[in-house]
Amino acid sequence: MKILQKIGVLLTIVGLVIFTVTPFLGSYQLDEATTIAATKDIHNEAMVEVLRPMFGKLYTSNFAFISSFKDYFNSYNETLKSNQEWDKVIWDDYSFSITKASSIGPVKEHPLIFLSLSIGLTILGGLLYILPLYRGVPDGIKNDGIFFSSMMARGWLGMITGAYLILFYILLYWFPEYLTNLVLMVDPISIFLSGGPASQWFLYGFIYSFAIVVMGLRMFRKYKGNNYQLIRTTSVMFFQLSFAFILPEILVLFNKPWHDFKNIWPLDYSFFYEYRLDGMINSGALGMFMLIFGILLIVIGVPLFTYFYGKRWYCSWVCGCGGLAETLGDPYRQLSDKSVKSWQIERYLIHGVLVFAVVMTGLTITNYFMGFELLGQATDQLHSIYGFAIGSIFAGVVGTGFYPFMGNRVWCRFGCPLAAYLGLVQRFKSRFRITTNGGQCISCGNCSTYCEMGIDVRWYAQRGQNIVRSSCVGCGVCSAVCPRGVLKLENGDEEGRINDMPIIIGNDSVKAKL
């Protein structure tokens, strides 16, 4: 390792440490004006009364502040609930906005300095480490030492990384009030882009996008010489930065709803929720475009593109979840389980989620048009169950947090309802397949090992059989790591695409059906 790379690793560690301690810096003080600013008009009066005992008090940690806030707030609500005064109960969660508004101290004063020292240093260190990788080494993929690596082969470094990611997701989804300093850090960026202050989701989007870009550059180094990988990686970097990160913020700047044009239902499970539909319908021509474009993608875009190119056009070229998996997650692709058992679990789970999403959305739309007379609160219940179990735990905590344990496509493989939909089209009506090259397979196992979707590619390759699997996201790595040039991702005639009784070329004595 070159000196520069060592410095890079050091800077990354320093940046991560600063990122980790930043939430605990500074102190917190609340006053009446802040309370009014941070709450809805209808709650102003009540919240001022509830929180009055906190006004003017200096809290030296966010723990103390948040615990005090929760004491007052909860006891207020509890009293109302026990008196059956349901209409007065405050259902909104103000802990994040109040805590963020009450923060005083270095991060609030100098957000950009903290941003540079935490995320900035991490990125800089990452680049110093990544850019010199494989310099002066001939083109070709080097998976050297992956299974000796603590980080990449479920060693202690991998365990720590996974635990850290899981903890971050739990805080982000359910306890964002503890991350307010980190959100304050990116406030100036958010104000620059959309004119408004940052939420925890802006922070998340910011980190997410940089993770894809920096680790995308790593892909350029690692897969240099392989144009398919380079172009595909450029594509996910582009879609994340523009469609998922910057464009939605600009929409907000122009008072339009936050909208990611490349996110497709049912991955975008809230697309048909009342607030989204109303948001689009009430946003003029652009809003109507959002609605129509979104529906066209679902009914025409997905089947058409998948017919021509397989689901890869979305999963490993466009999608944000796929983008993160293919960049940040690439070092963990070899950890996916290849057993038949996990394939069975995969099929039950992913199609189960698809059914759940379809039923939920069907009810939601029915309800929408019936003015919520029929099922009323039932859809809200469903939404919150789906949001919690699928949207947050499955897609976030497990989806990313489990990279170092179960590989980089846990969500895409076992959970994503859009992947299930794309997969059905890919399996039954598509020109895409992975072709195997005659009798050249030596059963070495590189293809299966590095398949992030857990497909036992070798099983097909050694039989001379095309690989037509609904889960294949077409990342192209099986083909890239094959030492004998046996695998090729192709779009071609549907005839002969699925060859269940393949014949291996080379033996004229018998036609061995496999």
Indicate whether 439 belongs to the interface with another protein (CB under 8 A): yes
Beta bridge partners, 103, equal 28
> x/- contact string, 446-475, with another protein (CB under 8 A)?
x-xx--------xx--x-------------
Instruction: By CB under 8 A, name the one of 78, 438, 498, 500 that touches another protein.
Output: 438
Touching another protein, residues 164-223 (CB under 8 A): none
- C-alpha to C-alpha distances, 345 to 100, 173, 179, 386, nearest whole angstrom: 42, 27, 35, 19
Indicate whether 431 belongs to the interface with another protein (CB under 8 A): yes
CB of 485 to another protein, least distance (A): 3
Give the amino acid at 347: R
CB of 167 to another protein, least distance (A): 29
Give the amino acid at 427: R
420 touches 325 (CB < 8 A):
no
Instruction: By CB under 8 A, name the one of 91, 145, 299, 369 that touches another protein.
Output: 145
Q: Which stretch binds another protein (CB under 8 A): 57-65, 126-134, 206-214, 445-453?
A: 445-453
Q: Closest CB to another protein among 157 and 389?
A: 157
CB of 130 to another protein, least distance (A): 20
* Alpha-carbon gap, residue 75 to 53, rounded angstroms: 13
Instruction: By CB under 8 A, name the one of 60, 61, 74, 507 that touches another protein.
Output: 507
CB of 1 to another protein, least distance (A): 11
Q: Closest CB to another protein among 41 and 493?
A: 493
DSSP line for 363-401: HHHHHHHTTT-SSTHHHHHHHHHHIIIIIIIIIIIIHHH
Which of 415, 291, 264, 285 is CA-nearest to residue 351? 415
User: At 358, which helix (H) or strand (E)?
Assistant: helix 340-369
* Alpha-carbon gap, residue 390 to 385, rounded angstroms: 8
CB of 125 to another protein, least distance (A): 24
To the nearest 10 degrees (0 to 180), the angle between helices 227-239 and 200-222 is 170
Indicate whether 140 belongs to the interface with another protein (CB under 8 A): yes
* Alpha-carbon gap, residue 416 to 351, rounded angstroms: 9
Q: Find tokens 């582009």 and name the residue.
A: 238
CB of 143 to another protein, least distance (A): 4
Instruction: By CB under 8 A, name the one of 134, 228, 289, 405 that touches another protein.
Output: 228
Indicate whether 445 belongs to the interface with another protein (CB under 8 A): yes
Indicate whether 337 belongs to the interface with another protein (CB under 8 A): no
CB of 490 to another protein, least distance (A): 7
Instruction: By CB under 8 A, name the one of 4, 296, 340, 370 that touches another protein.
Output: 340
Instruction: By CB under 8 A, name the one of 138, 255, 285, 371 that touches another protein.
Output: 138
To the nearest 10 degrees (0 to 180), the angle between helices 340-369 and 377-386 is 150
Neighbour-count burial of 267, counting CB atoms closer than 10 A to its CB (0-12 exposed, 13-18 middle, 19+ buried) = buried
* Cα three-residue angle 32-33-37, rounded to 5 degrees: 120
Instruction: By CB under 8 A, name the one of 235, 242, 342, 440 that touches another protein.
Output: 440
CB neighbours of residue 377 within 10 Å: 8
Q: Closest CB to another protein among 294 and 476?
A: 476
Which residues sit at the interface with another protein, rule CB under 8 A? 138-140, 142-149, 226-228, 231, 308, 339-340, 431, 435, 437-440, 442-446, 448-449, 458-459, 462, 476, 479-480, 483-485, 488-493, 504-510, 512
